[in-house]
Amino acid sequence: MSLLLEGKRAFITGGTRGIGAALCEVFAREGADVAFNYNSRDDLAEQTKAKITAHKRRAHSTKISVVDRVGLKKLTRELIELWGGIDILVNNAAINRGDSFATTTDRAWDEVINTNVNGLFAVTKPIYKQMIRQRKGTILNITSIGAIRALPTAVHYATSKAAVIGFTKCLSREAATFGITVNAIAAGIFDTDLAHTLPDRLLQMHEFWVARGRLGRPEELAEYAAFMVSDRNSYMNGEVVIVDGGAVT
């Protein structure tokens, strides 16, 4: 059987850590050329690139913020010149802060909403426009069960991830006209740096909530994501799939 993503060209946000790094490696293993952005760690970017090229796929990394609209437009043009286009976009990058609502500062609220919501717009818009021109493409947005269930996570984070769900569902209808699908994964708690910003009490109780009795591994989400963005998943559109280890609702 052929690889899931043979010949595809993917762009993944936040590709140096946790779920993003796992997405880059699994997508490359499944046959995709992978470009990714990152915010700070040059050493981790080189590690991710090495994992991609180890699968004999092209790698491209760019140190750029997901809220840099001008820079992201330029990056999209560069990738089109280099690779001829982008077939897959995964909006993975996000931040969280361990705040209660009563103690959330204006700065913390703005930072989370700006990164997780405005960044979604800034990354998607230029790539979506080139997908329209090529009349094909798939977009996968990573949201959270914190946007669906009343978990003791930060209100600003849950709010931003609920916005991702609305973005996914509404854009999917518009995008379908151009042969583009838009779906999302609502992730449970995975063993990442982001998860470890959650309150200790939440992490301690997690094993009692989740049927699997542990944190998810980033590669477990990446494996499912590879199927979701593949041509074998051609009829799914506008869906939010929960991957959380069987958490109690």
* Residue 126 in domain: yes
- Residue-level pLDDT at 87: 98
CATH (domain of 193): 3.40.50.720
- Residue-level pLDDT at 45: 97
Question: How far does Cα 225 stand from its chain's mean position?
Answer: 9
For 90, the enclosing helix (H) or strand (E) is strand 88-91
* Residue 1 in domain: no
**Number of domains within the chain:** 1
DSSP E strand stretches across 147-198: 180-187
Q: How confident is the model at residue 62 (pLDDT cuts 50, 70, 90)?
A: very high
User: Under a CB-based contact definition with an 8 Å cutoff, are residues 129 and 178 in contact?
Assistant: no
Output the CA angle 69-73-78, nearest 5 degrees.
145
Q: How far is CA 90 from CA 102, 108, 154, 204, in A?
A: 33, 25, 23, 30
Average pLDDT over residues 189-216: 75
Q: How confident is the model at residue 211 (pLDDT cuts 50, 70, 90)?
A: confident
Domain residues for the domain of 33 are 9-243
* Residue 2 in domain: no
User: Residue 224 catalytic?
Assistant: no
**Annotated active-site residue in 38, 157, 224, 235:** 157
Q: Who has greater pLDDT, 24 or 205?
A: 24
Per-residue pLDDT at 249 exceeds 60: no
Q: Who has greater pLDDT, 154 or 44?
A: 44
Q: How confident is the model at residue 247 (pLDDT cuts 50, 70, 90)?
A: confident
